[in-house]
Amino acid sequence: MENKIYTVSELSFQIKKVIEQFIAPVWVEGEISNFVQSRAGHIYFSLKDQEAMIRCTIWKNTAYSLPYQIQNGMRFAVRGNVTAYKAQSQYQINIREIRPAGIGNLHLAFEELKQRLKVEGLFDEAAKKPIPSYPNRIGVVTSATGAAIQDILRISERRNPAVQIVIFPAQVQGHGAAETIVKGIRTFNKLNNVDLIIIGRGGGSLEDLWAFNEEVVVRAISESVLPIVSAVGHEVDFTLSDFVSDLSVPTPSASAEMTIPELKEITTSLEHYQYRFGRHISLTIEQYRNEIDKIIRRLKLISPSEILKQRWQRIDELEMRLKNSIHVQLKNYNQRINSVKNVLSAFNPKSILKRGYTIIYEHEKKKILKSCKKLEKNSKINIEFFDGNAESVILKINKK
């Protein structure tokens, strides 16, 4: 074997076998340099420190899921398999996972991703969905053993035991945490068995909360049909999940306080609405009764029987007026007749006779004698009194 002569390709292949067989996947930290991204989507760069440098490769299927933009000069910790590129006899790391190294780089990555997603419109207020006021079931994506879920359950029991809490146990820190959070969000959306989703955990460092800053989580929140409440960390903590969620609250306890309606308030509101509803119904019924009464009265006015009654009443009224008018006229006529009778009675000769006067007639001709000039001695005359007449003979005539 000592005298065996290898071709360059054979030797490169043997080196590749040794490296890939005996070096397990490792985490390596260093500074990015020589960053290049191909048209196909693959990423190539060098990871270096003060004394050495190693080539790194991120294939496009991994590159697409990176939550931040890589730039020269940034420090990252990468995990992958050490392999050899036999065409140039160079060893390199095929990266499977990458994360910023150090607080400064984490802040840079946070701001870079925040700005990029903001430009896409993921944080727009117009895209946010309303939170149901009276949910029946609430889904919670968090650690099943953490303090966050205990706080939510305790407050739920105090405020309203009728609200059901459905837990999706998720990893909220470390490698693979983002994937379990995304799975929880998508599972609730697929089952559509809750009214809203709470995602969150208790407080921690920026590294501890980083899963809620990863792009896959932010996009899963944005794509959710169900409303999502972000309850990550304490009051001073902010994650990208807070910006994209439909409601952001400072703590997991606050998420329960703000989304679970208090049973006493519901009861009070129901009593208030019951009173208002009952009063509204009573007023409405009274209004309809008044309308019905008006309609009945109108129907009576236009009904044939009512019209006949009105006409009969009018006829009776006219008849009474006619009778009264006739009575008045007759009374007036009687008064006039009596007046005429009195006048006639006053001028009636017989009435004069009652006062002691008489009327002298010729005996045969029955003419009234108005003068004594036509009288002759021994001639007969008739004398009419008021109560009879008598015959008389003229014995003497005295003329003036």
Place of tokens 């994360």: 99
List CB contacts of 55: < 8 A, sequence separation 6 or more: 44, 45, 46, 85, 90, 91, 92, 93
Give the domain 133-261 fold: Rossmann fold (3.40.50)
- Other beta carbons within 10 Å of 77: 16
The Cα–Cα gap between 207 and 103 comes to 8
Report the candidate in 27, 31, 29, 11 with the shortest Cα–Cα distance to residue 19: 11
Ranges 195-199, 296-300, 312-316: which has the least confidence:
296-300
Ranges 73-87, 160-174, 236-250: which has the least confidence:
73-87
Could you tell me the sign of the dihedral formed by the alpha carbons of 143, 146, 147, 149, in that order? Answer: positive
Give the domain 8-101 fold: OB fold (Dihydrolipoamide Acetyltransferase, E2P) (2.40.50)
Cite the DSSP H helix spans in 303-388.
304-347, 349-354
Q: What's the mean pLDDT when you consider all of the chain?
A: 85
Does residue 218 surpass a pLDDT of 70? yes
DSSP 368: B
The Cα–Cα gap between 244 and 125 comes to 9
Indicate the SS3 state at residue 42. coil
Helix-, strand-, coil-residue percentages of the chain, each rounded to 5 = 45, 20, 30
The Cα–Cα gap between 214 and 207 comes to 11
Does residue 190 surpass a pLDDT of 60? yes
* pLDDT at res. 365: 65
Q: Is 114 exposed, middle or buried (0-12, 13-18, 19+ CB in 10 A)?
A: buried
Q: For the whole model, what pTM was predicted?
A: 0.52
- In the chain, CATH 2.40.50.140 sits at 8-101
**Inter-residue contact 231 to 251 (CB < 8 Å):** yes
* pLDDT at res. 18: 73
Structure tokens at 391: 């015959």
User: Judging by DSSP bridges, how do beta strands 26-37 and 53-58 pair with one another?
Assistant: unpaired
User: Between these two residues, 107 and 318, which has the higher pLDDT value?
Assistant: 318
Ranges 64-68, 89-93, 187-191, 375-379: which has the least confidence:
64-68
Does residue 388 surpass a pLDDT of 60? yes
Bridge partners of 33? Answer: 46
- In the chain, CATH 3.40.50.960 sits at 133-261
pLDDT digit string, tens, across residues 278-307: 899 989 999 999 998 888 887 777 777 777
* pLDDT at res. 309: 77
Q: Please state the rounded mean pLDDT for residues 322-327.
A: 90
